[in-house]
Chains A and B, each alone.
Chain A
Amino acid sequence: MSDAIKAATLEYATRLGDDSVVLGHRISEWVSYGPFLEEDIAYGNVALDYIGRARMFYTYAAELADDGRTEDDFAYMRSDREYRNLLLMEMPKGDFAYSQVRQLFADAYYTLVLPELLQSKDETLSAIAAKGIKETKYHLRRSRDWVLRLGDGTEESHKRTQKAVDALWGYTHEMFDMDETEQMLADAGIAVDVSKLRDAWHKMVSDVLIEATLTVPEDSWAVRGGRTGYHTENLGHMLTEMQITHRSYPGCQW
């Protein structure tokens, strides 16, 4: 592996890890607040899958960095400006409709990204994708069911779900952006060219929204910045809570 490819792969693995840990943490904020016990457990399990995936990406990033850092350093010892996650993942949990719409957007995204990542020439990235593909089918079925149920539910649930769709739509464009780092890796057969997935994602999500009697928003605005470390204020608040124990008691184990 050339130095340039290695450095880019480290950055790429970190980005994917950041996406997973931030979304996993947001989902975990629902634990014990779910609408009923079974759903509480189900959503908690989805959080575990995302956090587990983050651990695999970070472990690989630490291996590539080879500077003594571990997966924990990547998760707990970087500031919001150093995080490279997509903005969609860091939005606060909001009400249940808001979280499920975000979840549908994310699950549909991974349904398309992971099979592409499976084809990566990087064996570790491919192996992580292979584990994620099977799980993601269940994640997507769960979030899809919720968006259908809430969108096509009561007047109140419909209103809230549409509001969530409209509020989150502008954060989805960034998911399909490529920069120099990812383009170089895509050319080398390592990274996924996400720019080619937008149409398939739009169709997958639109089909669910329409079936849920919701309106697919126009592409009228977009917010970007996650991949360059420019985040919404929400990420700083989230990391403060997520990192406080580790930073207060470095190296603590139990």
Chain B
Amino acid sequence: MNEISLMPEEQYRRLQQRNVAEVKELWDLLDQVKDPEVPVLSIWDLGILRDVERDGDRIVVTITPTYSGCPAMNTIADDVVAALKASGYDDVAVNTRLSPAWSSEWMSPAGRRKLRNYGIAPPEDADLDDDGLTPDAHAQCPHCGSRNTRRISEFGSTACKALFQCNDCNEPFDYFKKI
């Protein structure tokens, strides 16, 4: 039986915002811009892309950082400008918006699948502990599917991930933290 997919409210709102946008083609275009740290995800998949608007001849793109210290924001802004320029939009402004703070809930369903296939466990592949934080074990291994895993470090290759190791296949893997 196929899994009935339940879409969180946050994701639904994002999708609606994109679908009813006057500049839908620009959302589609920016869905091609990849996150430099996780190159299988687009900035749409990750929820970094917050808004796209046309202001006269100018395109105004709004992005939000995942974590305060995300070092990829400048690169992402450059990539957004380059992608739009390649399609003939020369006047582009990229704004950064902090509020509301980024949530892993915003990640698209496709993004979650892509993440898992890439070898990174998406946020829902672990049950949070009593404090609502990443647990010290049992995030599902994206390589062999085992739950017999343990957390090795609170922070993985980037601040938005924790590092785990699978006790069955022994592979280390990143877990995308739920925040």
Contact = CB atoms under 8 A, between A and B. Distances in A.
A127 B64 CA distance: 11
A141 interface: yes
Nearest to B100: A130
Interface residues of A, number: 30
Contacts of A38: 152-153, 163
Interface stretch (A131-139, A188-196, A200-208, A212-220): A131-139
B47 to A, nearest CB: 14
A35 B153 CA distance: 13
Interface in B97-153: 98-102, 131-134, 152-153
A127 B99 CA distance: 5
B68 A131 contact: yes
A106 interface: no
A49 interface: yes
Given A42-B153, A52-B69, A134 B179 contact: yes
B70 A45 contact: no
Interface string A37-63: 011011001111111110010000000
Given A38-B152, A38-B153, A127 B69 contact: no
A48 B69 CA distance: 4
Given A52-B70, A56-B68, A41 B101 contact: no
B99 A126 contact: yes
Interface in A128-151: 128, 130-135, 137-138, 141-142, 145
B100 A41 contact: no
A123 interface: yes
Given A128-B98, A137-B133, A45 B159 contact: yes
A50 B69 contact: yes
17 contacts: A41-B157, A45-B159, A47-B69, A48-B67, A49-B69, A52-B69, A56-B68, A126-B99, A127-B98, A127-B101, A130-B98, A130-B100, A131-B67, A131-B98, A137-B133, A141-B154, A142-B155
Interface of A: 38-39, 41-42, 45-53, 56, 123-124, 126-128, 130-135, 137-138, 141-142, 145
Interface of B: 65, 67-71, 98-102, 131-134, 152-159, 163, 177, 179
Given A47-B69, A49-B69, A50-B69, 11 more contacts: A38-B152, A38-B163, A45-B69, A45-B155, A48-B68, A52-B71, A130-B101, A131-B65, A138-B134, A138-B154, A138-B177
